[in-house]
Amino acid sequence: MSPTSAPHPYLPDSGDPRFSVAHTRLDLDYTPRTNRLEGRAELTVRVLEETRDLRFDLVGLRAGKVRVDGKVHKQLKRGAHALHVRFDDRLPVGTTLTVVIDYAGKPAPRRSHWGEVGWEELTNGALVASQPCGAPTWFPCNDRVDDRGTYDVEFTCDRGFFVAVTGVPGRVTPAGGKLTWRFESRVPTATYLLAANVGEYSEYAFRWTTVGDVVGGAVRAGARAVTGRAPRGVGSARLVAPPAHSGLVREAFSPVPDMVAVFEDWFGDYPQEDLTIVVVDEDLEIPLEAQGMASFGLNHCEESEQRLIAHEISHQWFGNSVGLARWEDIWLNEGFACFAEWVWSQESGGPSIAECAEEHHARLAGLPQDLRLLDPGAADMFDDRVYKRGALLLETLRRTLGDETFRGLLRTWADTRRHRLGTTDEFTALADAVSPEPLDDVWQAWLHRTPLPDLPVG
C-alpha cells in the first residue's frame, strides 16, 4: 500500500484516498415502524491513484446489485465495514465512473472511540449523528473528511412523518401510500455533514425584519419577528420540531436570527444554501451540526443551553464551509465554534469575550496538561480541552493583534476558504501575514506544547 493510500491513523477503517466522489444521488425508502431502510446510491467517482479496487464504506447494511457505468458488476467483496468493487485492469488516474449500489437492512449506529455514531432509531422516527464516521450506517460512501461532494436525496417515508435531510428542500409528493421528500445540496459537503431526521414534526419558518428587507419565507406558524441586521445570504430558515412542544422550542430558538446576524458581522455572509434547525422529541447528550442544519434535543431548550445553539450555528462558517483537510486540525472546527459562543455572549449582553476566556482558562488550568492541540490523537479529538484551548488560542490572537485586525483575520479566513478545505499551517500563515510582530512563540506554546500557556494581559 502506497503512502497516499494508507489508512488515516484516527480512522483506520474509514475512507479510500485512491478516489473521490464528486456527486452522490440517494434514493431511500424508510419504514419507521420496522426500522427498515432500502436504498440506491449513485456515486460519480474520479480515480486519484491507479488502482484495481474501489472501497466504499458501508456498515450494518447489505449491499446488493452493483452497476458500473450502467453494467452489472460481479467482482465484489462484501465486508463488515466496506464493499470492495474490483476490476480486471488497473484504473488510470483521472478515470471517471458512475457506480450504482443497491443496499438494504436495519440501520443502526456503529461503535467507535467516541461512543455509538451514525443512524439512531428514536421512539418515533430516527436521526443521524455522523461525526466522525457514522455516514456509512445509512449510505455507501467514501467516508473521508477531505472528500466533499454535492448531493441529491429522495427520501420516501410513511405518511405522518416529517423528513429533514441536508440540502435545500424540494417537492414532497405521494408515493404508493407514502410521501417522497426531495433535497438538493450544491455546496461541497463532507460525508459526516450529511444528516437525516425523521419524526412526527411540524415546520415553522423564521421571519425577521430589517430596514427595507424581510428575510425568510411565509410563516407557517407564528414565529416571533426579530428586529436586527438581516443575514444577507440565508435563502431559507426553518425550525422543525414536535408540535406538542412548539411553544417551548420556538421561544428557545428565537435568538437564532440575531445569532446569524452577529456572526455575519464577525465572520462574513452566511455561507450555506439553507438553515434548518431540528429539535427531536427526546433528550440528546449533545447537539450536532450538519451542512446547513443543526439537530438538538428537547433538553437543549433550556436558557442555560443557549451557548450550544450559538456553537452549532457558527459551525456553518467553521467546519461546514471552511472544511477540514485532516482530522488532526479539529481545533479549526471546535476552537472557532467555542470562541463564537463567547462572541454571542458578549454581543447579547452577557459576559465579555475576555471574561469568558479568563473563566475557561482557569478551568483548563485544573485539568491534565497532556493534550497537544495540533494533532491531539483519536481518543482526544473531541475532548473539551481541544474546544477550549482552541478558543483560548484565538483569544490570545485577539489580544495580540488587536480587535480590528483580529476580526479582519477571521473574516478573511472564512472568505478565502469559503467551501474549501483549510489547515492549521494555512491559518497560521494568514495570521503571520497580518501580525505586526512574530507569532512563532504563540504557535509553539498553544499548538505544539502541552502545558497551558498564560493569556496575554487584555
pLDDT of residue 215: 33
pLDDT of residue 209: 40
Above 70 in pLDDT, residue 394?
A: yes
105 and 165 in a single domain? The answer is yes
The DSSP symbol for 435 reads -
Give me the CATH number covering residue 411.
Answer: 1.10.390.10
How far CA 253 is from CA of 250, 282, 445, in Å, comes to 5, 16, 38
Confidence band (pLDDT; 50, 70, 90) for 272? very high
What is the chain's mean pLDDT, rounded?
A: 91
- Per-residue burial over 364-399, b = 16 or more CB atoms within 10 Å of its CB, e = otherwise: beeeeeebebbbbebebbbbebbbbbbbbbbbbbbb
pLDDT of residue 129: 86
Above 80 in pLDDT, residue 67?
A: yes
Best CA proximity match to 102, nearest among 139, 128, 142, 151? 139
At position 385, the amino acid (one-letter code) is R
What average pLDDT does range 405-430 have in this prediction? 98
137 and 168 in a single domain? The answer is yes
Distance between CA atoms of 276 and 322, rounded to whole angstroms?
Answer: 19
The DSSP symbol for 318 reads B
pLDDT of residue 206: 75
177 and 74 in a single domain? The answer is yes
62 and 110 in a single domain? The answer is yes
96 and 30 in a single domain? The answer is yes
Distance between CA atoms of 406 and 398, rounded to whole angstroms?
Answer: 5
Query: Where a domain ends, among 314, 334, 363?
Result: 314
Does 444 map to a domain? yes
Contact, 66 vs 72, CB < 8 A? yes
180 and 67 in a single domain? The answer is yes
18 versus 234: the higher-pLDDT residue is: 18
Does 454 map to a domain? no
80 and 143 in a single domain? The answer is yes
Above 50 in pLDDT, residue 345?
A: yes
Does 453 map to a domain? no
For the chain, the domain total comes to 3
- Window from 33-37, 46-50, 303-307 with minimum mean pLDDT: 303-307
Query: Where a domain ends, among 192, 215, 238?
Result: 192
Distance between CA atoms of 264 and 367, rounded to whole angstroms?
Answer: 34
Strands 115-122 and 125-129, how do they pair?
Answer: antiparallel
Does 403 map to a domain? yes
pLDDT in tens, 348-357: 999 999 999 9
Burial of residue 5 (number of CB atoms within 10 Å: 0-12, 13-18, 19+): middle
Confidence band (pLDDT; 50, 70, 90) for 236? low
Does 382 map to a domain? yes
Above 80 in pLDDT, residue 194?
A: yes
pLDDT in tens, 298-342: 999 998 899 999 999 999 999 999 999 999 999 999 999 999 999
At position 76, the amino acid (one-letter code) is L
Best CA proximity match to 82, nearest among 137, 145, 159, 146? 137
pTM of the prediction?
Answer: 0.93
Confidence band (pLDDT; 50, 70, 90) for 207? low
127 and 87 in a single domain? The answer is yes
Q: Report the 10 Å Cβ neighbour count for 225.
A: 14
What average pLDDT does range 284-302 have in this prediction? 95
| Nine-digit cell string for 384 | 473539551
Does 456 map to a domain? no
153 and 8 in a single domain? The answer is yes
Does 455 map to a domain? no
Instruction: Give the residue numbers spanning the domain of 48.
Output: 3-192
Helices 353-365, 384-401: crossing angle, 10 deg rounding: 130
171 and 224 in a single domain? The answer is no
110 and 54 in a single domain? The answer is yes
CB neighbour list of residue 402: distance below 8 Å, 6 or more residues apart? none
Query: Where a domain ends, among 192, 227, 261?
Result: 192
Contact, 223 vs 201, CB < 8 A? no
| Nine-digit cell string for 232 | 444577507
Confidence band (pLDDT; 50, 70, 90) for 5? low
pLDDT of residue 339: 98
Give me the CATH number covering residue 256.
Answer: 3.30.2010.30
Order of all β-strands in the sheet with 213-215: 213-215, 208-210, 226-227
Q: What percent of the chain has pLDDT over 90?
A: 87
Does 401 map to a domain? yes
Dihedral sign, Cα of residue 234, residue 235, residue 237, residue 240: negative
Give me the CATH number covering residue 32.
Answer: 2.60.40.1730
End-to-end CA distance of the chain: 51
337 and 242 in a single domain? The answer is no
